[in-house]
A = this chain, B = another copy of it.
Amino acid sequence: MTTTSTTPQPTAASTSTGATGNTSAKPAVSSSSSSASITNVAALANVSTATVSRVLSGKRAKDDDIARRVRAAAEELNYSVNYAASALRSDVTNTIGLIIPSATDPLSAQLLDELEPLTDVDSQQLLLGIGATQEKQEERIESLIARNVDGLIIVTAPGAELAATLERHARQIPIVQVGGRQRSFRTSMVSIDDNAAMEMSVRHLAESGVRSVAYLANHDMSFESAELFAMFHTQVRSYALYTDRAWNQFGEKTVQRGFHCTMRLFGDALDRSGRDDLYRLRPEALICCDDTVAFGAMVALDALGLAVPGDVRIIGYGDSPLALTTMPPLTSVRPPVKQIVAEALRLIAAGPAAPAHITLPPQLVARGSTGD
């Protein structure tokens, strides 16, 4: 079939061929060269470029002989659309912008790994911007918008206020913020319900018979931290657990911080063990803002001769690969990365006119550090 179509035809084929680079008197396409254009496919399939365009972009109902001929021709010429030309004409770039604070940020990395395969099946591509400060993130937003991305997903850097910048573009393209505080009813937002995580954590501990608990909180200059800190106290009260003002402190998300906090927390109360009210002198459980902190805490407890989960139960956050490798394995809060990505893509597909705010609950993965 395809061989017969090489015969020159007086109608569409010849005209199209005349419009190509053939004016330079060379065959426009060498057998497997990289760039065949739509006119070559049209000529080979003996149809017009319009038909080729319609068939290949799926804007044509039937799957008749013509459609098959076009696809065969495209395949034979190893044709793929020129995205630049396509974008120029149709204002759709098949490109999604993603802005993250850093690739070494665990949540961002997980999002990347989940997001990329999904965009690929849509034959879309990810345009990446990295910025850890408000200023850099704003720069990247402008850069990606200037590239005419079809949608923008932003993992807000801690403390960044992007609402003003985003609102300027929210009418043009769909924007989805992941995390972050300020809400705008022009942009979409998908966030993790950390309050729910806190509720799950405290409940899990209460149900396991713990009487007192401490919270090694995160200090990242954001209001969420403070809100979560309050939520901790609310939940502790509601489950009738004990806590102490001095136990609960803000700090970094590092192993070292977990170690030092824990040493301070338990070191003083060691020689009083055996007392009836021991649970009021030192916590029977730790809730940590990050797995690394929990890890440091476990090392410290080990050094102090306290057993996990026997003497102290521990809950981390992030469900990093680390959590599986500790001894015992670490109970941790797993962020709903898959759902976040799915919702973000759905909102982008829905377009800029339908912003929504979605909050997704994480999952508490119970492991050895809170019981056997």
Contact = CB atoms under 8 A, between A and B. Distances in A.
B126 A127 contact: yes
Nearest to A117: B130
Residue with the greatest number of chain B CB neighbours at <10 A, chosen from A103, A147, A292: A103
Interface string A286-314: 00000010001001001100000000000
Contact of A254 (B130, B296, B325): B325
Given A117-B130, A127-B127, A255-B322, A104 B93 contact: no
A143 B125 CA distance: 8
Interface stretch (A21-29, A48-56, A77-85): A77-85
A112 B125 contact: no
Interface string A115-128: 01100100101111
Interface in A9-45: 34
A236 to B, nearest CB: 29
Interface string A136-158: 00011001111110000000000
B84 A88 contact: yes
B87 A113 contact: no
A195 interface: no
18 contacts: A34-B145, A82-B88, A83-B148, A84-B84, A84-B88, A84-B148, A104-B109, A104-B321, A112-B130, A123-B143, A125-B127, A125-B128, A125-B129, A125-B143, A127-B127, A254-B321, A255-B326, A302-B302
A256 interface: yes
A113 B120 contact: no
A85 B83 contact: no
A184 interface: no
Contact of A88 (B88, B146, B255, B259): B88
Residue with the greatest number of chain B CB neighbours at <10 A, chosen from A106, A113, A326: A113
Interface of A: 34, 80, 82-85, 87-88, 93, 98, 102-104, 106, 108-110, 112-113, 116-117, 120, 123, 125-130, 139-140, 143-148, 169, 172, 254-256, 259, 292, 296, 299, 302-303, 321-322, 324-327
Contacts of A325: 254-256, 259, 292, 296
A186 B331 CA distance: 50
Given A103-B113, A128-B128, A143 B172 contact: no
Nearest to A32: B168
A103 B116 CA distance: 10
A125 B113 contact: no
Nearest to A123: B143
A152 to B, nearest CB: 13
A65 to B, nearest CB: 27
Given A103-B108, A104-B109, A143 B120 contact: yes
A327 B303 CA distance: 11
Contact of A84 (B87, B117, B296, B324): B87
